[in-house]
Structure 1
Amino acid sequence: MRGIALVALAYLIISASDAAVKWALPEVGTAMAMIWRGVIGAACVALMARGRGLFPRDRRLLAARSLLHTGVSAAWYWAWARGVPLADTYAVAAAAPLLMTVLAIPMLAERVGWRRWSATLVGFGGVLVMLQPSGDLWRVETPVLLAAVAAMAVTRIWTRVLARTDTPAAIAFWLMIAHVPAGLALLPVLPPPSGAWVPSLGATLALASFGAVNALAHLLFGRAFALAPVSVLAPFEYSPLLWGGVLGFLIWAEVPSWTTLGGAAIVVAAGLYTVHRERVRRSQERRAAAAAGRGARAAAP
């Protein structure tokens, strides 16, 4: 229950921080937002962790995950800066758990049965509903977001692998650090749209809050996945759809189209069924292991 509470809080915080950076993006732009996130986020992680557990063990995988995640951040910020609503981006991101099911086969050597394959195909059908020409998601930013979702699925699988060797503080800290050089590299291409290199007081407060609470959310994610199984926490992956819709309506009066909502509902349903099958599979494995243990004890002299 503590793990569920922590991950639900983390997704709420992530949604609020996304709204904050989306609000500041018209003034500061994508590259500056990444730099602010990296500097403030890394400092906050170091303070909250009290400097402990920040040294990475699996350096190569941690570096690869952090750099790939900066590409995900850049794609999201670029789409928001161009006016894509929060709820629409979260609807596209709902495909991430389905992609994780597919990618877990080559990356984690997992076996996927016909039921989970069927759920995955249904989920991608929901993505096609969202992307039909009459829908609001039929726009130039969507292919970039889809590529970012695929990259995000890879980073989440790598997070599972890194959790075996590295602390949540190390994973979050180096993720934040990677945003600084990535933002500096993008600065000549994506400079502040306003032309002002020093943000206003309002944008500064929004970016500082964004970096701080984003760091807190990633620490909460790490702790939640240490307390509860992935299959238990996975359904909360879809909670940003709710928070994004509420925040988008309250701040920008954004209302998702029926194609976006309908397609997202199909994707979420397919994802929840995938979670259900994962629970069933794990339960069968536990029963088989228990039966094998009883058989070994009975055969012992």
Structure 2
Amino acid sequence: MLLGMAAFAGNDAIGKWLVADYGVAQVILLRSLAAGLLMAPLLLRGGRVVARIRAAPRPRLQALRAICATAEVFCFYLAVSHMPLADVMAFWMAAPIYVVAISPLLLGERVGARTWAAVAVGFAGVLILLAPSLQVSGPGVVFALLGTAAFAAIMVLGRSLRETPDRDLVLFQLAAAAGAGLLLAPFDWQPVQSSGDLALLFLLGVVATVAHMLVTRALKLADASVVAPLQYSLLVWGAVLGFLIFGDIPAPGMMLGAALIVGSGLIVLRRAPRVAPEPPVPAQPGVRQSG
């Protein structure tokens, strides 16, 4: 799980570097193609791709999850083009809190008073992140909030699609992202400036794929309640990489907001009911699976 979070941080840093010179849709299209090539043996193992797409259970939910996943990754890269890396990651860490807040309405789950208190603390952390004194701009905040909402929707939908094999969820997600990138990239296509940038574009897909594989493997080796808190190591990586690569220095308000979000998230995870695992487990609430 720690290796997976480090890989996700690398993916995010490479993406932030590339969107400074290339369109977001172009970056996502080339990343999806590279990830598809890397995962082709795994994706083809289950038989004909088109037949699996047609036979997927709950096709409307599958389509909605793929759309949300595509919107989430677009919003993330748009957000990091306007905001420091660690700030954007802090917004994404609040997604599990949103899931707890909406689960009584959408999933009929019961949430206790102490958990609601933890959710309130997490939202306070988000409000601190929204303070105008931080190094954020208007568009960046909008994209971060929309992306976090999409991420929370992915986790909620994942609870209803547990019977879908991991590789098929990845296939639908890659197909949707590649389709959106193919549709939008021509409007902001920039010629690749160097072989180094081309290598980074390919590396982006490789690193993202490795990150997903590591996190998926971690969730199969241990309970989500054990490995999910390790996702907060993303904030450390975000602060370190943001400083080393982009010269970003975390503001005190960002650190306070992030601390409140992490603390409330750990309380929510600790108080979550423990249930026997149900194989297969394509996605677990509270663990980053996209981006």
TM-score by length of 1: 0.83
* Inter-partner Cα distance in structure 2 for 1:109 and 1:24: 42
1:212: Cα distance to partner? 1.4
Where does the alignment leave 5 or more consecutive residues of structure 1 unmatched? Answer: 1-6, 286-301
Where does the alignment leave 5 or more consecutive residues of structure 2 unmatched? Answer: 277-291
Deviations along 1:224-270, whole A, 9 cap, x unmatched?
Answer: 22332222222122121011111111111111110001111011111
Q: What is the aligned length? A: 270
Are 1:20 and 2:19 an aligned pair? no
Q: Aligned residue for 2:108?
A: 109
1:138: Cα distance to partner? 5.5
Q: Aligned residue for 2:242?
A: 248
Q: Aligned residue for 2:268?
A: 274
Q: How does 1:52-201 map to 2 (within 5 A)?
A: 52=46, 55-56=52-53, 57-58=56-57, 59-82=59-82, 84-137=83-136, 139-162=138-161, 164-187=162-185, 189=187, 191-192=188-189, 196-201=190-195
Q: Aligned residue for 2:283?
A: none
1:49: Cα distance to partner? 5.2
Matched residue SS, 1:28: coil
1:161: Cα distance to partner? 2.9
Moved more, 48-57 or 134-143: 48-57
For the aligned residue pairs, the C-alpha RMSD in angstroms reads: 2.1
* Inter-partner Cα distance in structure 1 for 2:248 and 2:172: 34
* Inter-partner Cα distance in structure 2 for 1:226 and 1:108: 24
1:122: Cα distance to partner? 0.9
Moved more, 224-233 or 204-213: 224-233
* Inter-partner Cα distance in structure 1 for 2:138 and 2:144: 11
* Inter-partner Cα distance in structure 2 for 1:248 and 1:118: 32
Which has the larger Rg? Answer: 1
Residue number among 17, 22, 34 corresponding to 2:28 in the alignment: 34
User: In 1, are the aligned partners of 2:80 and 2:140 still within 8 Å (CA)?
Assistant: no
Q: 1:160 to 1:226 in 2, by over 3 A?
A: farther
* Inter-partner Cα distance in structure 1 for 2:35 and 2:172: 10
Specify the code of the residue in structure 1 equivalent to 2:38.
Answer: C
Give the percent of matched residue pairs that are identical in Structure 1 and Structure 2.
34
* Inter-partner Cα distance in structure 2 for 1:41 and 1:207: 10
* Inter-partner Cα distance in structure 1 for 2:136 and 2:118: 23
* Inter-partner Cα distance in structure 2 for 1:67 and 1:197: 27
Residue number among 224, 235, 239 corresponding to 1:230 in the alignment: 224
Matched residue SS, 1:140: helix
1:33: Cα distance to partner? 0.6
* Inter-partner Cα distance in structure 2 for 1:188 and 1:273: 45
* Inter-partner Cα distance in structure 2 for 1:88 and 1:42: 30
User: In 2, are the aligned partners of 1:91 and 1:241 still within 8 Å (CA)?
Assistant: yes
Deviations along 1:17-36, whole A, 9 cap, x unmatched?
Answer: 11112111122220101101
Matched residue SS, 2:138: coil
User: In 1, are the aligned partners of 2:225 and 2:269 still within 8 Å (CA)?
Assistant: yes
* Inter-partner Cα distance in structure 1 for 2:233 and 2:125: 17
Deviations along 1:260-286, whole A, 9 cap, x unmatched?
Answer: 0111101111111111111xx438x9x
